[in-house]
Amino acid sequence: MNTTNRLVKFSINTGLGGHPWPELLAAWQKADELGFYSGWTADHLTNVSAQDPLNTVCYEAWSQQAALAAATKKIRIGALVTGNTYRHPGVLAKIAVTVDHVSGGRLDFGIGAGWSVEDHEPFGIPYPSFKERLERLEESLEVITRIWTQPKSSFHGKYYQTKDAISHPLPLQKPRPPIMIGGAGEKTLRTVARWADMWNATGSPTLVKEKLQVLERHCRELGRDPSQIEKTVLISCIIADDPARKEAILNRRRASYSPARGQTGGKYVLMSEDEATNAILLGTPADIQKQVRAFTDMGVTHFLLTVPYPTNFRALERISKEVMPAFR
């Protein structure tokens, strides 16, 4: 696939870094200054990736997004991704409109079915089966898009009901903010094909290509052009000029090899050595440019980078000056 004239975007992901608010804010403002396209935070109620969650910072995502929107100028704002089960969709629709207005129309609306039991049961939120969570996500998207696009709307579903919900103000973005859905399961990808403007994946080029083929099949079945969906990848990005440092990082990743990919006890495991080696942007800026092209050649145009920060602004600066210009 020819990507010569395709716009390639680079964004930052602060995720669950556990950084205090002043450091988090400084990182976003620096990324805004350096020209990153968007910034993404995680939506969890506890830091599921931390070694010591009891003593690791975890802010609520939508409060973060509103504050970051007010403190930045150009960078777009998103949650990667909102856990649908934590909030009623009618309330979430109003929260999102608020952030869209605070940001001046810079909201990207990330949402998923919700997956971590640690974000549910400790906070008194029921943790349904995956089938029910996906059904709830479908209904939520219907509720939310109606509230975003109609002055008054109602919905009567299996899980959610609204009646004459007044939608003033509507979002600044027309017809609505872009919807990002994260996930790569068969049923999730069908939801992506139906609803999403943006899809987020993780993994090596080999794995992402396989999932893209599934997404394209669902699009064909639903009568949708798959090119209408922006393909994005969440991926770590580490500039390592020293070959020994690069190899040490890869060896640590290979040590995480497991034949099963997924979330186990709050920790992620890699599915194969291919993922350990190739599901990362790592090396010199020239290495990273080559690794980016392995994704863009299959149609990925947006990279959500987890980088060593917020204390290491040098990493952000080098990406913006030594990697991003090659794709403009």
- The pTM assigned to this predicted structure is 0.92
Per-residue pLDDT tens for 217-262? 999 999 999 999 999 999 999 999 999 999 999 998 888 765 554 4
What tokens appear for 278 in the block?
């190739």
pLDDT of residue 16: 86
Task: Please give the Cα distance from 161 to 154 (Å, whole number).
Answer: 7
pLDDT in tens, 178-207: 999 998 999 999 999 999 999 999 999 999
State pLDDT tens for residues 129-167: 999 999 999 999 999 999 999 999 999 999 999 999 999
Angle between helices 21-34 and 313-322 (to 10 degrees): 20
Rounded to a whole number, what is the distance in angstroms from the first to the last CA of the chain? Answer: 18
Q: Tell me if 213 sits within 8 A of 224, measured CB to CB.
A: no
Fold of 9-242+281-327: TIM Barrel (3.20.20)
Query: Which residues have C-beta within 8 Å of that of residue 316, sequence separation ≥ 6?
Result: 12, 27, 30, 31, 34, 36, 307, 309
